[in-house]
Amino acid sequence: MAVLPPDPVFSLRCPEMGAVYSLCFHENERLLAGTLKGNVFLWDLQTNRCGLHFEVSKEAVTNLHHTPDRLVTQEKGGTVTMWSMTNTCYVRERSIPGNHLGYCRTALHTNPNNTNEQLLFYPCGESTIGVLHVTDPAAPTQMLVPDDPQLPKLGTVTCFKPFECASQLFLLAGYESGHFLTWDLSSGVIVDVMADLAPEPMTVDYDPVTNRGIVGTASDKLTAISYQRQSMQLQRGPELSIKNAGVNIVRIRGDQKVFTSGGWDGRIRIFSWKSLRPLAVLTQHKQGAVMDIAYSPQEVSMWRAPIMAAAGMDGQISLWDLYN
């Protein structure tokens, strides 16, 4: 039984921002928001004011990533752009033209042993996934193409999550058909195929420490997953029912205590990661879907706690302290 929800510690709004599609933290004191109108807004969490905004394109900014010295944006249609930081603004470095008509978001993986080694996974074409070296423009782009004739028609790639296991890099990818493929990035080979895991998958997150993941779909179910580690075979876990269908985003918090889903109904649902029990339903976003959720890497000084940010079609960014 979900408990009564807490209130947000703050809500960020400004008339020019409009609907928000994507969020990411830069360190702990800056929060970036990508909008339906194609802009990026930079919020200073020490003052809760917008210090900068700039246009990426005329298309919605569907995802954002921030490395120590670069911003990566993804636009509707799939175009990916790298931006370098200056003291006063972001400067466009290079763009990779998109050819993706779906809603799949990019994913960034940073090598834990070398933070300068960053790989960006991005959807391109129908079922193809590109792997781009963020810090090395001269490095070749790897293409993950599911062209095995024994595979069924997969349709468009809809979600993916890179992760490391036993010092090897893998990618779990969901497709329109409901199939999930596990790729070994060192060889570019598919090591596992699971059919009909979840119909119309929208979002996936996986934590290799606890060996558990969660898949959100267009239905009223969330599906837990895990791996048989020796064979790297994906296994279906329990299903969690939610009141209204449609999940845009699932995020596992870095401390593996909770995970959060953002729904088409505007609800933010908090679950225990250990038991998968519902803990709270946050109802701050009452007009339109929740599109993205992000956790600050560390404590935000104004609130003296790590913060969760959520945003969506209602044009506000809600900030939550779920630790106290």
Q: How far apart are CA 77 and CA 72, in angstroms?
A: 15
pLDDT confidence of residue 30: 96
User: Does the predicted TM-score (pTM) go above 0.85?
Assistant: yes
Average pLDDT over residues 74-78: 95
pLDDT confidence of residue 5: 77
Average pLDDT over residues 66-72: 93
φ/ψ (deg, to 5) at 69 = -130, 5
pLDDT confidence of residue 1: 45
pLDDT above 90: residue 114: no
pLDDT in tens, 115-146: 778 999 999 888 999 999 998 888 888 999 99
pLDDT confidence of residue 130: 95
| DSSP conformation letters of 29-76 | TEEEEEETTSEEEEEETTTTEEEEEEE--SS-EEEEEE-SSEEEEEET
pLDDT above 60: residue 79: yes
Q: Where are the alpha helices (DSSP H) in the chain?
A: none
pLDDT confidence of residue 2: 46
pLDDT above 90: residue 324: no
Average pLDDT over residues 42-64: 96
Q: By the 8 A CB rule, do 126 and 155 touch?
A: yes
pLDDT in tens, 148-187: 999 999 999 999 999 999 889 999 999 999 999 999 999 9
* Domains annotated on the chain, with CATH: 102-241 (2.130.10.10)
pLDDT band, very low/low/confident/very high, at 3 (cuts 50, 70, 90): low
pLDDT in tens, 245-303: 999 999 999 999 999 999 999 999 999 999 999 999 999 999 999 999 999 999 999 99
Q: Summarize the chain as % helix, strand, coil (round to 5).
A: 0, 55, 45
Q: By the 8 A CB rule, do 191 and 182 touch?
A: yes
pLDDT confidence of residue 290: 98
